[in-house]
C-alpha cells in the first residue's frame, strides 16, 4: 500500500514514471469496465484514455478514505456514461417494470465464459447494456442510475428487466448451438 501512496504522490507532483506506473496498474482493470459499456474496442480505448486523463487531473482530490482503485473505477464509469449520453441519449420509457418473468440472471451468467459474456453484452442495445452494467456489475441502485442517466427509476427497472430477458433468450440460443455442435 505504501507503494501506491508513493505513486499517487508522484502523480500529483507530475512525475512521469509514477504516471506510467499508475497507468500500468489501472489500465487493464479499467479497460474491462470501458469495454462492457462501449460495445466496441475502439470506443473502449477512447473511454480508457479519457478515464486516465480525468484520473490524473483529479488525483489531488483523492482523499485516501477509500480504495484508490474503486475511486478510479467510479471516474471511469462516469466517463463511459458521458460518452454514451453523447452518442445515444437514453430516453424515459413508460414506467413498466413487471415482465411476468422470474429473475434467473445469476443462473444464466454463471455458466458462461468472460468472452461469451462480453459478446452477449455487446449485442444488446446500448440502453439495456448500460443499465445492466450499472445495476448488476457496478452495483448502483435504480435511484442512482436514474439520477446519473436523467431517466426515471421505473425506466431503469424496465430496461434492466428487458436486458435480463434478452440475455436469457441469447443464452438459450447459445446453449442450443452448443448442444447441436456436440451431437
CATH of the domain at 151: 1.10.10.10
**What's residue 113's pLDDT?**
73
Rounded to whole angstroms, the Cα distance separating 105 from 90 reads 23
Of 33-37, 121-125, 144-148, the one with minimum mean pLDDT is 121-125
Spell out a b/e string for 100-128, using b for 16 or more CB atoms within 10 Å of the CB, else e.
eeeeebeebbeebeeeebeebbbebeebb
The verdict on 115 and 177 lying in the same domain is yes
pTM of the model: 0.73
**What's residue 84's pLDDT?**
87
> What is the number of H-type helices and E-type strands within the chain?
9, 0
**What's residue 13's pLDDT?**
95
Q: How confident is the model at residue 60 (pLDDT cuts 50, 70, 90)?
A: very high
Q: Which of 57, 87, 117 is the last residue of a domain?
A: 87
- Does 121 map to a domain? yes
- Does 163 map to a domain? yes
Q: What is the mean pLDDT of residues 107-121?
A: 67
What the block records as the C-alpha cell of 120 is 452477449
Q: Which of 33, 57, 87 is the last residue of a domain?
A: 87
What the block records as the C-alpha cell of 181 is 455442435
The verdict on 67 and 110 lying in the same domain is no
Rounded to whole angstroms, the Cα distance separating 140 from 143 reads 8
Q: With 50 as the cut, is the pLDDT of residue 140 above it?
A: yes
Q: With 80 as the cut, is the pLDDT of residue 139 above it?
A: yes
Rounded to whole angstroms, the Cα distance separating 49 from 43 reads 10
Q: Which residue has the higher pLDDT, 12 or 86?
A: 12
The verdict on 50 and 77 lying in the same domain is yes
Q: Which domain holds residue 72?
A: 2-87
Give the side-chain half-sphere CA count within 13 A for 4: 11
Strand, helix or coil for residue 119: helix
Q: With 70 as the cut, is the pLDDT of residue 53 above it?
A: yes
- Does 160 map to a domain? yes
Judge contact between 95 and 154, C-beta under 8 A: yes
Q: How confident is the model at residue 181 (pLDDT cuts 50, 70, 90)?
A: low
The verdict on 127 and 75 lying in the same domain is no
| Domain total in the chain | 2
- Does 99 map to a domain? no
> Which stretch of DSSP H or E encloses residue 167?
helix 153-182
Judge contact between 164 and 132, C-beta under 8 A: yes
Rounded to whole angstroms, the Cα distance separating 172 from 164 reads 12
Q: With 50 as the cut, is the pLDDT of residue 108 above it?
A: no
Q: Which of 28, 60, 87 is the last residue of a domain?
A: 87
In the predicted model, what is the mean pLDDT of the chain? 83
**What's residue 179's pLDDT?**
54
What the block records as the C-alpha cell of 52 is 486516465
**What's residue 167's pLDDT?**
87
Nearest to 30 by CA among 52, 58, 54: 52
CATH of the domain at 34: 1.10.1740.10
Amino acid at each position: 500500500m505504501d507503494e501506491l501512496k508513493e505513486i499517487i504522490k508522484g502523480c500529483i507532483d507530475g512525475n512521469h514514471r509514477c504516471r506510467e506506473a499508475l497507468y500500468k496498474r489501472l489500465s487493464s482493470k479499467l479497460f474491462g469496465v470501458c469495454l462492457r459499456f462501449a460495445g466496441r474496442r475502439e470506443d473502449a480505448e477512447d473511454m480508457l484514455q479519457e478515464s486516465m486523463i480525468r484520473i490524473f487531473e483529479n488525483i489531488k482530490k483523492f482523499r485516501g478514505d477509500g480504495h484508490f482503485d474503486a475511486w478510479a473505477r467510479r471516474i471511469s464509469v462516469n466517463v463511459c456514461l458521458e460518452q454514451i449520453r453523447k452518442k445515444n441519449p437514453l430516453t424515459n420509457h413508460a414506467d413498466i417494470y413487471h415482465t411476468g418473468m422470474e429473475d434467473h440472471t445469476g443462473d444464466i451468467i454463471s455458466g458462461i465464459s468472460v468472452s461469451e459474456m462480453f459478446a452477449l453484452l455487446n449485442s444488446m442495445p446500448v440502453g439495456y447494456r448500460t443499465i445492466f452494467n450499472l445495476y448488476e456489475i457496478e452495483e448502483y441502485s435504480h435511484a442512482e442510475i436514474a439520477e446519473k442517466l436523467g431517466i426515471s427509476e421505473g425506466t431503469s427497472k424496465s430496461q434492466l428487466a428487458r436486458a435480463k430477458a434478452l440475455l436469457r433468450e441469447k443464452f438459450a440460443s447459445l446453449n442450443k448451438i452448443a448442444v447441436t455442435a456436440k451431437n
